[in-house]
């Protein structure tokens, strides 16, 4: 009977450890190279994230938008962030929503008032 209890305890602890490992959060802090496809064409912005808990801040740099700050969140494997910039004096909001695939890659969708798109990103 004692042997079964110990075996059951080992199984429960192993399952709990596996569940924790699967839900481990990835820290996206650092420099990422994006590949974006949208109605405006293709672009390769550089994005620098700083993550503190679920909150992210950072810097967005692209040939089309130029340099702009970003704010957003990371919850589990989901990332959401917004860039507010302008193109030739016209305000523009870029809303990125994606899935963190692993510590070095993510993919998702881009939403703007001028059309939507998709993105992939790799950590630099």
17: tokens are 């450890």
Third-level CATH fold of 25-123: Lipocalin (2.40.128)
pLDDT at site 112: 93
- State pLDDT tens for residues 46-93: 999 999 999 999 999 998 889 999 999 999 999 999 999 888 888 999
Other Cβ atoms less than 10 A from the Cβ of 34: the count is: 20
List 98's β-bridge partners, or say none: 79, 108
pTM of the full structure: 0.80
Instruction: Show me where the domains of the chain are located.
Output: 25-123
- Looking at the DSSP bridge assignments, the partners of residue 32 are 47, 123
Interval 16-38 mean pLDDT:
75
């Amino acid at each position: 009977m004692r042997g079964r209890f110990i075996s059951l305890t080992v199984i429960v602890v192993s399952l709990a450890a596996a569940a924790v490992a699967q839900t481990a959060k990835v820290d996206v802090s650092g420099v990422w190279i994006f590949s974006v496809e949208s109605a405006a064409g293709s672009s390769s912005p550089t994005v620098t994230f700083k993550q503190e808990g679920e909150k992210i801040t950072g810097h967005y740099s692209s040939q089309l938008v130029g340099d702009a700050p970003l704010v957003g969140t990371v919850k589990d494997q989901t990332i959401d962030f917004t860039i507010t910039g302008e193109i030739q004096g016209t305000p523009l909001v870029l809303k990125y929503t994606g899935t963190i695939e692993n510590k070095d890659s993510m993919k998702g969708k881009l939403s703007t008032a001028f059309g939507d798109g998709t993105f992939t990103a790799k950590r630099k």
